[in-house]
Chains A and B, each alone.
Chain A
Amino acid sequence: MVRRSAEPGRVDAGPGEKALTSGTRRAPRSLIEIGLPVVVMSVIVLVLPTFLPAFVSSQITKMMIYGLFGMSLNIIWGYAGIPSFGHAAFFGAGAYASAIFILKVGITNFWLNLLLAIVATAVIAAILGVPAFRVFGVGAGNTNPIYFLLATIAFGELLSRLAIAVRPVTGGSTGLSGIPEPDLGFGFRITSFRYYYLVFVIVVICLFIMYRVVNSHYGYALRGVHDNERRMQALGYNTWLYKYTAWIIAAVFGGVAGVLFAYYGKTLVPNTFAMITSDIAFLLVIMGSTTTFFGPLLASVVYVGVEYAASLYLRDRWPLIFGAMFVITIMLIPEGLGVWILKLWKKVIRGAAT
């Protein structure tokens, strides 16, 4: 694993602060430092749709969904040091589960549907996690999860094959279409304009929970597992259980992103599980940086923006551009956008303070 991402806590710490090591509780940071960007961003995102045409707010909805997807992968990759390559398995599981519950089972209530999809995703993650963590650390030593990468690639593909094969339930290779507008109960129907706000609320709730998780004792234990698993074992931690539960937590949030995506696109194809979707999550995390919490959200803004521009002007060359984004990220900004923005923000704060 990469050394720089081996110290997730350290990047957050400013030069004046004591460098944080895993396992110690972080002192609450100044309200301005975190609160201001969060509030400003939230207000901007909330106000935007009233000014912008519908197709732009639709892209912002997509940014939020992909941002949640990327950040869910970041829980296991950035914090626990487990670069799962099959995160689309959970995105797809959430999306398909919700679509199947609506279309085949007839559960129209959004909240019940979301809950069921979360349970389904968690079950699938719990099942796949057992073989996955058998191979973690096999290969080139404990710090080099090369075999795990290979194993997880196949998971998403396995599920997409299943989605093709189980035609009566999943619609086969044509997928599922005609997912209705979400029904929130109390006769309150959601239009695509209001869906933007629903996504916003759910993403904010998820981010809040995720933030609390990675900054809890549990989250620090995960960083400890990342930094030095042997030492954590010696300290009496059941590191397998930590990795396994982190895997399920990440899967659940990936599944929530999938549910939102199902309602957003209204159509699902087996590709939702496939390598291409996992690769998007992978790109979001590496582009956003594995060492910051919000990085993948930034990356998803860039990614969706580029994707939209490409769909207008260079539709045929999109895979080339998509691939180039990976290469440019790795060769030019290997530490990611998140770190870059964070440094900039620190500078601004310090400039304002003096």
Chain B
Amino acid sequence: MSVALVTGLNGLSYAFILFLLAAGFSLTFGVMGVLNLTHGALFVLGAYIGLQVVDSLGWFWLAVLLAAVALGIIGLLLYFFFLKRLYNKVPEQAVLTIGLGYMFANVILWIWGPRAQNMQKPEILSGALEIGGLSFPIYRIFICGIGLLILALLWWIQDRTRWGAIIRAGMDNKEMTVALGVNYGLVSTLVFVLGVLLAGAGGVLGAPIVGAFPQMGDNLLLLTLIVVVVGGTGYIQGTMLGALVIGLLDTFGKAYVPKAAMFFAYIVFLIILLVRPSGLIGRRIF
């Protein structure tokens, strides 16, 4: 039982890291129909920028902020120079962003070398919390907290703000939204930047747990895809649900049936495709 509790926390924190990873992707993909397959590489780039900042300035929070800002700028450049010209051309977007993903990964390798890096946790968040004879690492609890915060923020933006309304309207009928005088171009640019920015911040926040090495982007991208397909796109709560399912399943699987664990995510993925192709909480458009 006690082991299950600790594993549960590990699974939850992993789920929230997956959420941080997939939220940005789901946002750009579900809301704008832009398939950004550089997402995994951008997450890793965020982690490395964070590591660099921590190394030279030694301040974790600044690292999160700077990585987010840097990635936001990269996102803006990506959008203006490349993706804006490929509106509604999904295979082209896929090809372009795959290429950019390889380039980013190789640049990371070029700058920081092939060695896997470990991020030091900030002082205040290291150590463990003792509850009833069980020790829970504080950083993992913190990740859950910050994940919940970001979930709440995105949920609020989606459901309660004018912007969220514009986004949802744009998902239903872009032409009509534009015809009503809404500056949809601005909104979609900002949504894209927000998505990439989230990847950067997520990279830094996740680094103390998952570490960082140049080639991890591909693996992260796959996890993102699985989370997004399982959860369904278009709603942020779908992404959270997908992340929870995959995160908990993976962690418990690894704890109890380590040999088969790596297939659990794929099995769930295939079942979802067969039974409910639009995802657990997805928009049913077909």
Contacts and interface: CB of A to CB of B under 8 A. Distances in A.
Contacts of B218: 274-276
B86 interface: yes
A157 B222 contact: yes
A207 interface: no
Contact of A327 (B96, B107, B278): B96
Contacts of B180: none
Given A137-B286, A140-B285, A282 B229 contact: no
Interface in A312-326: 316-320, 322-326
B229 A326 contact: no
Contacts of B277: 134-135, 138, 147
Nearest to A131: B273
A165 B273 contact: no
Contact of B33 (A2, A135, A144): A144
Contacts of A334: 92
Contact of B99 (A140, A149, A324): A324
Interface in A92-147: 130-132, 134-135, 137-142, 144-147
Nearest to A276: B218
Interface in B101-132: 101-107, 109-110
B102 A147 contact: no
A85 B273 CA distance: 16
Contacts of A322: 99, 102
A153 B95 contact: no
User: Which residue, A162, A325, A327, has most C-beta atoms of chain B within 10 A?
Assistant: A327
B88 A153 contact: no
B150 interface: no
B274 A165 contact: no
A41 to B, nearest CB: 27
A330 interface: yes
Q: Is the interface of A mostly helix, strand, loop or mixed?
A: helix
Contacts of B233: 139
A32 interface: no
Given A282-B98, A323-B106, A135 B90 contact: no
B206 to A, nearest CB: 21
A83 interface: yes
A140 B282 CA distance: 12
Interface in B60-117: 82, 85-86, 88-92, 94-96, 98-107, 109-110
B274 A149 contact: no
A149 B227 CA distance: 15
A323 to B, nearest CB: 3
A327 B100 contact: yes
B270 interface: yes
B82 A331 contact: yes
B266 interface: yes
B90 A149 contact: yes
Given A149-B90, A157-B222, A323-B103, A138 B285 contact: yes
B263 A330 contact: no
Contacts, number: 139
B281 to A, nearest CB: 14
Interface string B19-39: 000000000010001010000
A329 B95 contact: yes
Contact of A146 (B29, B100, B222): B29
B262 A151 contact: no
A158 B270 CA distance: 10
Contacts of A325: 99
A135 B263 contact: no
Contact of A320 (B94, B103, B228, B274): B103
Contacts of A279: 98, 102
Contact of B273 (A135, A161, A319, A329): A135
A222 interface: no
Nearest to A278: B98
Nearest to A149: B94
A1 B90 CA distance: 7
B263 A161 contact: yes
B269 interface: yes
A154 B99 contact: no
B95 A326 contact: yes
A144 B88 contact: yes
A158 B263 CA distance: 8
Nearest to A320: B106
A274 B222 CA distance: 11
Given A83-B91, A134-B274, A334-B92, A150 B99 contact: no
A146 B95 contact: no
Contact of B106 (A139, A150, A317): A317
B96 A330 contact: yes
A249 interface: no
Contact of A317 (B110, B228, B278): B110
A274 B215 CA distance: 13
Contacts of B229: 135, 147, 150-151, 154
B225 interface: yes
Contacts of A165: 259, 262-263
A286 interface: yes
8 closest residue pairs by CB, A with B: A326-B99, A323-B102, A323-B103, A319-B106, A320-B106, A131-B273, A135-B277, A323-B99
Interface of B: 29, 33, 35, 82, 85-86, 88-92, 94-96, 98-107, 109-110, 218, 222, 225-226, 228-229, 233, 259, 262-263, 266, 269-270, 273-274, 277-278, 285-286
